[in-house]
Amino acid sequence: MVGDKLVKLRKKQGMSQQQVASVLGVTRQTVSNWECGQGAPALDKAGELARLYGVSLDDLVADAVAVMTADSVVDAEPRDLHVLKLLEGRRCRICYRRSDMVDIMKSSSLPDKARVLGVTDDWMRVGHDLGTGNPWSKKEAAISLIDVNLVDSVLVWPIDDDAAAPTPKGAEA
């Protein structure tokens, strides 16, 4: 799972394996092995990768944290994120860009109702419930890093509903 994250995060930054290897002072083959799940970076290298990709070390290595990235064809124009940053701690419904609709349909784990846990220039960290679609099944709390280029708009829950909503495990960070 860490390997898949490393691939997504590297591609989000527009970097090749060789470029990542040069920054970290390792070989391209080492980066390839990490991405293929044939080994994992040492703690110091994992920390460097997290800084390079703009995510926390916890989010990088935690299997419970999913990474959702936009298609490379999405226009990566600068976005004004000050409003999203004001939503930290609030429950919202996230609406995604249409150009990514095919990928969204493929990924049933992409949350629409979520609590915004944090926003950076590249990522929106959200806590949300995972469910099977069956109303009687137990829901699990999950955390996802969503590429801000995927987000089209956000609808905010009323404050009354906000207080009643549970906070996912690990969302305190």
pLDDT in tens, 79-110: 677 888 888 999 988 887 765 444 544 455 56
pLDDT at 134 (0 to 100): 63
Give domain 81-156's CATH architecture. Roll (2.30)
The identity of residue 65, as a single letter, is V
Taking every pair of Cα atoms in the chain, the longest distance, rounded to a whole number of angstroms, is 53
Model pTM score:
0.71
CATH number of 2-63: 1.10.260.40
Give residue limits of the domains in the chain: 2-63, 81-156
Weakest mean pLDDT among 43-57, 113-127, 156-170: 156-170
Beta-bridge partner residues of 140: 130
DSSP 8-class letter at 135: T
- Stated as kind and residue range, the H or E segment containing 153 is strand 151-156
